[in-house]
Amino acid sequence: MIIDLFRRVLGRKARIVDQPRLRVHALAQHGVRRDQISACALRTTDALHKAGFEAFVVGGAVRDLLLNRAPKDFDVATNATPDDVRRVIRRSRIIGRRFQIVHAMCNDEVVEVSTFRALQGSSEDDQAADEHGRLIRDNVFGSQEDDARRRDFTANALFYDPRKQEIWDYFDGLGDIQARRLRMIGDPAVRYREDPVRMLRAVRFAAKLGFRIDEGARAPIRGLADLLSNVPSARLFDEMLKLLLSGHAVECLRQLRAEGLHHGMLPLIDTVLDEPEGARFVNLALTSTDQRVADDKPVSPAFLFATLLWHQVRVTAARIETEGESAVPALFTAMDAVLDAQKVKLAIPRRYDAVMKEIWSLQSRFLQRGGQRPYRLLEHPRFRAAWDFLVLRAEAGEVEASLAQWWEDFQDGDDDARAALLVAEDRPKRRRRRGGRSRRGGSDEGGGNGTRGSSDDDGEDA
């Protein structure tokens, strides 16, 4: 036990990587060829080289190519200033105020070009941190070595020179990639304090790349997790979205929980996952999202957040109903309450609210399978999303599988098949009604309650 602790403490100390030692790896050692670099990135680095500057492909693209994965995008780092880059690359524009970068534009590709940057300012004024150590500014140009040092993980700090097909490596990132290890540059605790989002990045990269977080980088996370509450909520939301859309959402969420990072991220999800029914639905939703990413199908953030918050909406609506409210108003009140509550920490942008609410509120309309209503629902612009949502609910055992099947048959059927389904559905319903009329007032659509319910009634049972 004590030996273990000793080893851990020593190990952590020994593993801190802050002495850069440049190694230049030739093609034979790393295998990344020039023709694997995007056309726009090549044009950009070639133009900068021709003008006498240094230019490298950097960061995630180099890492992904070494792992035989297709990079999401290509970033370039250079010793040319933004104004230099602007002059050298005709179709480009400077963006950003705090730290300027240049967007080089080709046909359908944009490459981000940034000037080598230092973390440590030469004067006190160049670098500012808040009382928790979080960096507020880091806006000084630096050397390539400085630029490597300011990056988060060694695997993300590799520079690829397309001209010579060399990889420039200051912190043995190549070794770490080969060992599938995520190692922080510098003292991990300090780096997390500077930018707590790095803790979430560690989890995302580990899950996505199948890497192990080096013990030195993993150990401080639990103790520093609360620092996430100092991160602006818009940034937290962006990172959460990256996590959920990484194609490894299930694994990301598992690791977030394992590292104690989930509290700050999705306060409501926390309670959901502790209840078997909620957890089942969320896991199904995330599994299906991961599958869609793997299949290169589009994923809608609004749909995803609708699934993550659904359990809470249901529980809240049920509670309001027990206080005497009828179903539809209870649902609407619950939707607003849930959306407001989670906005305090995780700023799900308002623009997603409308879609989430539509997906939720359409669920009760799937219960109505007679008359003109199913035809009208089919025409609804959000039908497809609401139906996908219904399928997940059926898989989670929240509604009968036969209901989802009915809607599948109805969508796929021709006119006759659809009419036959309607009849089949109407008969038992009529019989039930004759026996118990009171059901109408308490139905999901809240028929007796408002104009919406009664207008939907026409055409039914006529």
State yes or no: is 414 an active-site residue. Answer: no
Min CB(114)–ligand ATP separation in Å: 9
The smaller minimum CB distance to Mg ion, of residues 112 and 290, is found at 112
> Rule CB under 6 A: is residue 183 a binding residue for ligand ATP?
no
**Residues 300, 424 contacting (CB under 8 angstroms):** no
**Residues 251, 207 contacting (CB under 8 angstroms):** yes
Residue 248: which H helix or E strand, with range? Answer: none
Residue with the shortest CB distance to Mg ion: 60
The 10 Å CB-count burial string (b at 16+, else e) for 270-302 is eebbeeeebebbbbbbbebbbebbeeeeebbbb
The smaller minimum CB distance to Mg ion, of residues 64 and 325, is found at 64
Q: What is the distance between the alpha carbons of residues 27 and 66, in angstroms, rounded to a whole number?
A: 11
The smaller minimum CB distance to ligand ATP, of residues 117 and 262, is found at 117
Please name which of 182, 188, 178, 187 lies closest in space to residue 212, comparing C-alpha atoms: 182
Q: Which of 109, 161, 187, 195 binds ligand ATP (CB under 6 A)?
A: 195
> Rule CB under 6 A: is residue 89 a binding residue for ligand ATP?
no
284 binds, among Mg ion, ligand ATP, none (CB under 5 to 8 A by kind): none
Residue 272 Cα distances to 221, 268, 269, 289, 450, angstroms: 23, 6, 5, 18, 32
Residue 340 CB neighbours (<10 A)? 10
Residue ranges in 51-70 that form contacts with ligand ATP under rule CB under 6 A: 59-60
Q: What is the distance between the alpha carbons of residues 87 and 39, in angstroms, rounded to a whole number?
A: 20
State yes or no: is 295 an active-site residue. Answer: no
Which among 64, 84, 152, 176 is annotated as catalytic? 152
Q: Which of 152, 169, 239, 290 binds ligand ATP (CB under 6 A)?
A: 152
Please name which of 156, 178, 189 lies closest in space to residue 71, comparing C-alpha atoms: 156
State yes or no: is 152 an active-site residue. Answer: yes
The smaller minimum CB distance to Mg ion, of residues 63 and 149, is found at 63
> Rule CB under 6 A: is residue 197 a binding residue for ligand ATP?
yes
Size of the site for ligand ATP (CB under 6 A): 11
Residue 390 Cα distances to 123, 256, 396, 397, 399, angstroms: 59, 28, 10, 11, 8
Which among 64, 75, 147, 176 is annotated as catalytic? 75
Min CB(151)–ligand ATP separation in Å: 3
369 binds, among Mg ion, ligand ATP, none (CB under 5 to 8 A by kind): none
The smaller minimum CB distance to Mg ion, of residues 110 and 337, is found at 110
Residue ranges in 4-63 that form contacts with Mg ion under rule CB under 5 A: 60
Parallel/antiparallel/unpaired status of strands 23-25 and 101-105: unpaired
**Residues 330, 321 contacting (CB under 8 angstroms):** yes
> Rule CB under 6 A: is residue 151 a binding residue for ligand ATP?
yes
Please name which of 178, 224, 216 lies closest in space to residue 197, comparing C-alpha atoms: 224
The smaller minimum CB distance to Mg ion, of residues 60 and 162, is found at 60
- Tell the residue number behind the tokens 């939720």, with chain if given: 360
Min CB(201)–Mg ion separation in Å: 11
The smaller minimum CB distance to Mg ion, of residues 110 and 341, is found at 110
Q: Which of 1, 2, 68, 72 binds ligand ATP (CB under 6 A)?
A: 72
DSSP-derived letter for residue 348 is -
Min CB(156)–ligand ATP separation in Å: 3
The DSSP annotation for 191-214 comes to HHHH-THHHHHHHHHHHHHTPEEP
Binding mask 277-316 for ligand ATP (x = CB under 6 A): ----------------------------------------
Strand order across the 166-169 sheet: 23-25, 166-169, 158-161, 55-58, 75-78, 110-115, 101-105, 92-95
Residues that bind Mg ion (CB under 5 A): 60
Residues that bind ligand ATP (CB under 6 A): 59-60, 72, 75, 151-152, 156-157, 195, 197-198
Residues assigned a catalytic role: 73, 75, 152
